[in-house]
């Protein structure tokens, strides 16, 4: 039985080691003077407190004003979001209100894209901040006609406390894994808070409107990967880092992770399914070994050995992304984070299977 655990950890090391090599392959691209028409689209629901800061960040963009538009679309907000948005409507700031027969972020983005004038679509979320060079640096990759989609880095805003540390470490691990997979041309996932793609490619993708609550980013990525395996790039550039808010409490945290996990049952991409399975089995193996270790010293030794192997490879891949995000302060927390992560991730999978989750005030089932 012990050799099964060893094989699983070995597969995990190969997987994460591959992501590390993929991350190292990515090189920043320096291109000046390329300014295609861009539509920045942000779907908004019940975010009245965020809008002032969001518009300030968007209006700071250094980009030709005649080639950029900001489309902010209200998704049936029950607060004063629409009222606040309309107070900003001017020139290249377009405010849309989602019709009653449409609902949710995916349909909001589709509705906005149908009305967008840009050749390049750039998406984000209402609680995000951007550098003034965000748009300019994200769209420059499209000077290469072969590039169809660009995934950008996202990090949580720095806050004090252990809860913030846990979220930031896990989120950073997801970002670097997604980037590394793209570097290896086996794209797995990306983040809709920092995503750019060609409008004409999006218009071909009928699967975007499937009845799945989230996944406005990853299913489009998988579609592009299938048709254009060399057409996806990760923007490894500090100027395009988007900062977003971590959730405020543990209940929201669990709920958010259930939402993220809920779309995995619909994955059809073989690389994504394989990586998810290896990660799940690795963490399940460590939990089983943890309890077996209570019964026998030999199991305890095996648990320690395999845990340290997992910790080592996780450390190797996390240090570069934490340096990139300028969050070296998190490195010292990686070991304690590893101690509880296996239990947490299995809990999330089980909770996703048997309980519902809420998103923007709406209840959804797995």
- Residues 280-305: pLDDT tens digits? 999 999 999 999 998 888 999 999 99
Q: Which of 365, 361, 276 has the alpha carbon at shortest distance from 105?
A: 361
pLDDT at 366: 47
pLDDT at 313: 97
Q: Check if the beta carbon of residue 179 is closer than 8 Å to that of residue 265.
A: no
Q: How many whole angstroms separate alpha carbon 361 and alpha carbon 245? A: 18
Residues of the chain with pLDDT under 50: 364, 366
Question: 206: which residues sit within 8 A by CB, 6+ positions away?
Answer: none
Tokens for 10, please give them.
Answer: 């070995």
- Residues 94-125: pLDDT tens digits? 999 999 888 888 889 999 999 999 999 999 99
Q: Domain 30-172+187-246 belongs to what topology?
A: Spore Coat Polysaccharide Biosynthesis Protein SpsA; Chain A (3.90.550)
Domain boundaries, the chain: 30-172+187-246
Q: How many whole angstroms separate alpha carbon 118 and alpha carbon 140? A: 14
Give, for 108, the enclosing helix (H) or strand (E): helix 105-114
Q: Which of 67, 15, 65 has the alpha carbon at shortest distance from 273?
A: 15
């Amino acid at each position: 039985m012990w050799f099964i655990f060893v094989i699983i950890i070995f597969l995990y090391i190969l997987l994460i080691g591959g992501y590390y090599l993929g991350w190292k392959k990515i090189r920043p691209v320096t291109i000046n003077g390329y300014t295609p028409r861009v539509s920045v689209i942000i779907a908004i629901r019940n975010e009245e407190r965020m809008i002032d800061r969001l518009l300030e960040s968007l209006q700071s963009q250094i980009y030709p004003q005649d080639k950029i538009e900001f489309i902010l679309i209200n998704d049936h907000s029950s607060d004063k979001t629409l009222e606040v948005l309309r107070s900003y409507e001017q020139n290249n700031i377009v405010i849309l209100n989602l019709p009653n027969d449409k609902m949710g972020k995916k349909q909001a983005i589709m509705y906005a894209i149908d009305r967008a004038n840009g050749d390049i679509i750039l998406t984000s979320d209402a609680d995000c901040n951007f550098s003034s060079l965000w748009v300019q640096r994200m769209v420059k990759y499209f000077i290469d006609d072969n590039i169809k989609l660009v995934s950008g880095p996202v990090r949580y805003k720095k806050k004090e406390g252990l809860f913030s540390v846990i979220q930031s470490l896990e989120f950073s691990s997801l970002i670097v894994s997604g980037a590394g997979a793209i570097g290896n041309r086996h794209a797995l996932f990306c983040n809709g808070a920092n995503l750019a793609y060609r409008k004409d490619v999006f218009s071909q993708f009928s699967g975007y409107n499937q009845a799945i609550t989230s996944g406005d980013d990853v299913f489009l990525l998988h579609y592009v990967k299938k048709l254009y395996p060399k057409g996806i790039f990760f923007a490894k550039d500090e100027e395009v880092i988007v900062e977003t808010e971590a959730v405020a409490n543990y209940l929201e945290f669990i709920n958010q992770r259930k939402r993220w996990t809920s779309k995995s049952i619909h994955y059809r991409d073989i690389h994504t399914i394989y990586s998810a399975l290896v990660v799940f089995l690795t963490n399940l193996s460590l939990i089983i070994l943890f309890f077996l270790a209570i019964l026998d010293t030999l199991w305890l030794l095996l648990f320690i050995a395999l845990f340290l192997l997992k910790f080592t490879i996780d450390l190797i891949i996390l240090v570069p992304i934490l340096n990139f995000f300028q969050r070296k302060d998190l490195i010292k927390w990686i070991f304690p984070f590893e101690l509880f992560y296996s239990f947490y991730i299995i809990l999330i999978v089980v909770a996703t299977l048997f309980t519902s989750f809420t998103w923007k005030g709406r209840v959804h089932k797995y």
